[in-house]
Amino acid sequence: MAENETGQTGSQEQEKNQGQFGIQKIYVKDLSFETPHSPQIFSENLQPTVNLQLSNESQRMAENTYEVVLSLTVTVGTDDKTFYLAEVKQAGIFHISSFPDATIQRMVSTICPNILFPFARELVSDLVTRGGFPQLLLAPVNFEALYAQQQQQQDAQSPTDEAGRTH
Protein backbone atom coordinates (compact mmCIF):
# COMPACT_ATOMS: atom_id res chain seq x y z
CA MET A 1 0.00 0.00 0.00
CA ALA A 2 1.37 3.43 -0.89
CA GLU A 3 2.22 5.87 1.86
CA ASN A 4 1.77 9.62 1.66
CA GLU A 5 4.21 12.24 2.96
CA THR A 6 3.06 11.86 6.59
CA GLY A 7 3.69 8.13 6.54
CA GLN A 8 0.00 7.15 6.75
CA THR A 9 -1.47 4.67 4.34
CA GLY A 10 -4.31 5.88 2.14
CA SER A 11 -7.00 4.03 4.10
CA GLN A 12 -5.71 5.34 7.45
CA GLU A 13 -5.82 8.93 6.20
CA GLN A 14 -9.32 8.45 4.78
CA GLU A 15 -10.48 6.97 8.10
CA LYS A 16 -8.98 9.92 10.00
CA ASN A 17 -10.79 12.47 7.81
CA GLN A 18 -14.20 10.81 8.13
CA GLY A 19 -16.51 12.10 10.81
CA GLN A 20 -17.62 9.89 13.65
CA PHE A 21 -21.06 9.75 15.26
CA GLY A 22 -22.16 7.57 18.13
CA ILE A 23 -24.82 7.30 20.81
CA GLN A 24 -23.33 7.15 24.30
CA LYS A 25 -26.49 7.31 26.43
CA ILE A 26 -30.25 7.86 26.07
CA TYR A 27 -32.21 8.82 29.19
CA VAL A 28 -35.24 10.64 30.59
CA LYS A 29 -34.18 14.03 31.93
CA ASP A 30 -37.57 15.23 33.17
CA LEU A 31 -41.12 13.91 33.23
CA SER A 32 -44.50 15.29 34.28
CA PHE A 33 -48.13 14.21 33.89
CA GLU A 34 -51.10 16.19 35.17
CA THR A 35 -54.85 15.56 35.10
CA PRO A 36 -56.26 18.75 36.61
CA HIS A 37 -59.94 17.82 36.23
CA SER A 38 -59.86 14.20 37.30
CA PRO A 39 -61.86 12.21 38.22
CA GLN A 40 -64.79 14.23 36.80
CA ILE A 41 -63.21 14.37 33.33
CA PHE A 42 -63.57 10.59 32.96
CA SER A 43 -67.37 10.83 33.00
CA GLU A 44 -67.58 13.56 30.34
CA ASN A 45 -68.07 12.77 26.66
CA LEU A 46 -66.18 15.63 25.01
CA GLN A 47 -64.10 15.65 21.84
CA PRO A 48 -60.72 16.99 22.91
CA THR A 49 -58.03 18.51 20.73
CA VAL A 50 -54.35 17.59 20.92
CA ASN A 51 -51.73 20.32 21.05
CA LEU A 52 -48.08 19.30 20.69
CA GLN A 53 -45.23 21.68 21.34
CA LEU A 54 -41.68 20.54 20.90
CA SER A 55 -38.25 22.04 21.21
CA ASN A 56 -34.70 20.88 21.00
CA GLU A 57 -31.68 22.06 22.96
CA SER A 58 -28.08 21.00 22.77
CA GLN A 59 -24.97 21.74 24.71
CA ARG A 60 -21.38 20.72 24.33
CA MET A 61 -20.35 18.71 27.39
CA ALA A 62 -16.74 18.03 26.42
CA GLU A 63 -14.71 17.86 23.26
CA ASN A 64 -16.73 15.83 20.74
CA THR A 65 -19.49 15.12 23.30
CA TYR A 66 -22.92 16.74 23.14
CA GLU A 67 -26.06 16.46 25.22
CA VAL A 68 -29.24 16.88 23.20
CA VAL A 69 -32.60 17.34 24.96
CA LEU A 70 -35.86 16.92 23.07
CA SER A 71 -38.76 18.50 24.97
CA LEU A 72 -42.37 17.58 24.23
CA THR A 73 -45.41 19.17 25.82
CA VAL A 74 -48.71 17.51 24.95
CA THR A 75 -51.90 19.22 26.07
CA VAL A 76 -55.20 17.45 25.44
CA GLY A 77 -58.51 19.09 26.19
CA THR A 78 -61.15 21.53 25.06
CA ASP A 79 -61.00 25.32 24.98
CA ASP A 80 -62.01 25.60 28.63
CA LYS A 81 -60.86 22.30 30.14
CA THR A 82 -57.55 20.45 30.13
CA PHE A 83 -57.96 16.66 30.20
CA TYR A 84 -54.26 16.06 30.69
CA LEU A 85 -50.86 17.62 30.23
CA ALA A 86 -47.78 15.48 29.58
CA GLU A 87 -44.29 16.96 29.57
CA VAL A 88 -41.29 14.85 28.59
CA LYS A 89 -37.64 15.77 28.25
CA GLN A 90 -35.92 12.91 26.47
CA ALA A 91 -32.16 13.34 26.36
CA GLY A 92 -29.14 11.72 24.84
CA ILE A 93 -25.39 12.03 24.95
CA PHE A 94 -23.78 11.80 21.54
CA HIS A 95 -20.19 11.54 20.35
CA ILE A 96 -19.71 13.71 17.25
CA SER A 97 -16.23 14.34 15.89
CA SER A 98 -14.37 15.36 12.74
CA PHE A 99 -17.26 17.29 11.20
CA PRO A 100 -17.38 21.02 10.38
CA ASP A 101 -19.20 23.15 12.99
CA ALA A 102 -22.15 23.81 10.65
CA THR A 103 -22.59 20.07 10.12
CA ILE A 104 -22.45 19.40 13.86
CA GLN A 105 -25.13 22.06 14.43
CA ARG A 106 -27.31 20.41 11.80
CA MET A 107 -26.73 16.95 13.33
CA VAL A 108 -27.72 18.01 16.89
CA SER A 109 -30.81 19.71 15.41
CA THR A 110 -31.94 16.89 13.12
CA ILE A 111 -30.25 13.49 13.52
CA CYS A 112 -30.16 13.47 17.32
CA PRO A 113 -33.84 14.48 17.75
CA ASN A 114 -34.78 11.84 15.16
CA ILE A 115 -33.08 9.27 17.37
CA LEU A 116 -34.68 10.60 20.57
CA PHE A 117 -38.25 11.07 19.27
CA PRO A 118 -39.33 7.39 19.27
CA PHE A 119 -38.28 7.12 22.93
CA ALA A 120 -40.22 10.29 23.83
CA ARG A 121 -43.23 9.15 21.78
CA GLU A 122 -43.34 5.81 23.63
CA LEU A 123 -42.98 7.56 26.99
CA VAL A 124 -45.89 9.92 26.23
CA SER A 125 -48.06 7.01 25.11
CA ASP A 126 -47.25 5.07 28.27
CA LEU A 127 -47.93 8.08 30.53
CA VAL A 128 -51.29 8.76 28.90
CA THR A 129 -52.38 5.13 29.16
CA ARG A 130 -51.27 4.86 32.78
CA GLY A 131 -53.17 8.10 33.44
CA GLY A 132 -56.40 6.31 32.48
CA PHE A 133 -56.83 7.79 29.01
CA PRO A 134 -56.92 6.13 25.58
CA GLN A 135 -53.52 5.54 23.99
CA LEU A 136 -52.05 8.57 22.22
CA LEU A 137 -49.68 7.93 19.33
CA LEU A 138 -47.88 11.04 18.18
CA ALA A 139 -47.27 11.40 14.45
CA PRO A 140 -43.68 11.36 13.22
CA VAL A 141 -41.89 14.71 13.12
CA ASN A 142 -39.72 15.90 10.22
CA PHE A 143 -36.82 17.52 12.07
CA GLU A 144 -35.04 18.26 8.76
CA ALA A 145 -37.98 20.43 7.64
CA LEU A 146 -38.16 22.16 11.04
CA TYR A 147 -34.42 22.90 10.91
CA ALA A 148 -34.68 24.27 7.35
CA GLN A 149 -37.61 26.47 8.41
CA GLN A 150 -35.65 27.76 11.40
CA GLN A 151 -32.63 28.53 9.18
CA GLN A 152 -34.85 30.45 6.72
CA GLN A 153 -36.28 32.51 9.57
CA GLN A 154 -32.80 33.29 10.88
CA ASP A 155 -31.60 34.22 7.39
CA ALA A 156 -34.58 36.54 6.92
CA GLN A 157 -33.80 38.29 10.22
CA SER A 158 -30.07 38.73 9.51
CA PRO A 159 -29.21 42.06 7.91
CA THR A 160 -27.06 41.80 4.79
CA ASP A 161 -25.00 44.38 2.96
CA GLU A 162 -25.03 45.05 -0.80
CA ALA A 163 -22.60 42.18 -1.43
CA GLY A 164 -24.93 39.78 0.38
CA ARG A 165 -22.69 39.31 3.42
CA THR A 166 -24.29 38.79 6.78
CA HIS A 167 -23.36 41.14 9.62
CA angle 31, 85, 110 (to 5 degrees): 60
- Give percent above pLDDT 90 in the chain: 73
pLDDT of amino acid 167: 46
End-to-end CA distance of the chain: 48
pLDDT band at 88 (very low <50, low <70, confident <90, very high): very high
**Beta strand extents in the chain (DSSP E only):** 20-34, 49-62, 65-77, 82-97
Q: What is the pLDDT of the chain when averaged over all its residues?
A: 88
